[in-house]
Structure 1
Amino acid sequence: MASEPGGLVEIWTDGGCKPNPGAGGWAAVLRFGAAEREMSGAERETTNNRMELTAAAAALEALKRPCRVKLHTDSEYLRNGITRWHTGWVRRNWRNAQGDPVANYELWQRVLAAAKPHEIEWIWVRGHAGDPMNERVDQLATAAREAMLREPAETSTARR
């Protein structure tokens, strides 16, 4: 999605899994002015957290130039990881506070790389609490997961 320099892009993301771990879906809606883009995808074996990270990474990777972004997520894992925890992880060579390797390292790397050119405000919203855009991305993520489950196992399911 292209934007004018200095323009604000709003992004809503969601990811989910049923069961967790198990089949999962992710989705994002990007809005710049009146323009909107929906993205979604799914994986057969994944976790809620991996789908949340994938949604954010895919949405930010879709931006064609540096933007001001408001990214809305119902994932405290994503929001806290990107705004609070990752600096400690980097300082500890990608180890968490307990000294264990950070889970989902490759996806955190992807999110950080995708976020780097942008000025992002990470906004947490309560999930399943009536926020219309959060409900929309939840529905898109669920639909992506369900569509994938109807396809043969070797079929790719990313929808961008």
Structure 2
Amino acid sequence: MTIIAAADGSALGNPGPAGWAWYIDDARWRCGGWKRGTNNQGELAAVLDLLRQTAHVDEPLHVLCDSQYVINSITKWMAGWKRKGWKKADGKPVLNVEVMKALDEAMRGRDVTFEWVKGHAGHALNEKADALANGASKAHASKQQPEAGPGFPGATAVGAGEDPAVPPAADGGAVPATTTKSADTSEPDLFSVGEPGSPGATGSRPGAPAAGPAIEELVVDLERSLLTDAVRRDRKQLTRLLDVRWRQVDTAGRTWTRRELGNSKASLAGVELEVLETRRLSDDVVLLLWRATSPGGASSLHSSIWQRTGDDWKQVYQQGTRQA
């Protein structure tokens, strides 16, 4: 009987406090994280830990994942990276190479299939994994350790350790002496379709823009990051995510500039984002329609316009309306 599991990652600030999780059911799940990591590293660690935890079973494994970067890394790009000595198409080293090597080893001899699912769209298993990963990142933001979970029955392997870029050995032992521990947080994007660094890849300007759902998923993830205090109070992050011409019309009708937002002490902690629609207006412009729900239950409707600027996506405009 096929084991169906969802794997997900989370990062507050990206990089920032990060978490990972996989979920099969209430009796079989696991999560963890680090004080500093990226969303991609969380996604990779979740799949690696799931593979290692289920290594002793004979049943096929079907992994639900909302990161095309992870799926494509394992199913499309990895063979080419190995042939090139773990180099990308542009000749640069593969990011998180030690994790990629561990994933390659964990996949050997396994019957594993992957399915992309749209994140934050009500898929039951994905929502469970997302909540666990997000909870792990929030725990690390509070300098606490999240509850690891029961894991998979009979498992002895360990999939993630203290360094998001370097997992422990498959048996939970020390990292091999040939490994250089270095947390790589220079990832160009959160979700990718084309091989990173190749023409047409998200975050790589030459060639046609990436097709498929990757760009919309990236924009949604960036929008969520703007609801976190870690990002809203970090001028560097706001400069990266908001265009210099950025304007916001809030639910009270007030207009904000990027500078004014950076000086604001208002907190959006606990606000939930529900995606209503993503619409590609052009190759370089995405309209995101979403609902914000506060911890007290009040909700508002928002429209955000994101535009590709060079290798980055920046929000240029947002408007909110109170919902009766």
TM-score range, shorter chain: 0.7 to 0.9
Structure-2 residue corresponding to 1:113: 105
Q: List 4+ stretches of structure 1 deviating above 4 A.
A: none
Between the aligned partners of 1:27 and 1:98, the Cα distance in structure 2 is 31
Q: 2:30 aligns with which of 26, 39, 53?
A: 39
Q: State whether structure 2 residue 55 is matched by structure 1 residue 61.
A: no
Letter paired with 1:159: A
Work out the CA distance in 2 between the residues paired with 1:19 and 1:136.
21
1:119 shift after superposition: 0.3
Give the structure with higher Rg (CA): 2
User: Relative contact order (alpha carbons < 8 A, sep ≥ 6): 1 or 2 greater?
Assistant: 1
Q: Is the 8 A contact 1:27 1:39 kept in 2?
A: yes
Moved more, 107-116 or 52-61: 107-116
What residue in structure 1 maps to residue 136 of structure 2? 144
| Structure with greater proportional helix content | 1
- Tell me the CA shift for residue 90 of structure 1: 0.8
CA contact (8 A) 2:35 2:143 kept: no
Q: 2:23 is aligned with what amino acid?
A: V
The match for 2:81 is 89
Q: Is the 8 A contact 1:67 1:118 kept in 2?
A: no
Q: What code does the residue aligned with 2:16 have?
A: G
Once the two structures are superposed, what CA deviation does each residue of 1:89-122 show, in whole Å capped at 9, x if it has no partner?
A: 0111100000000001011112122222320111
Identity of aligned residues (%): 32
Mapped partners of 1:117, 1:65: distance in 2: 12
Q: TM-score, normalised by structure 1?
A: 0.85
Where do 5+ consecutive residues of structure 2 fail to align? 150-324
CA distance, structure 1, for counterparts of residue 58 and residue 106 of structure 2 = 10
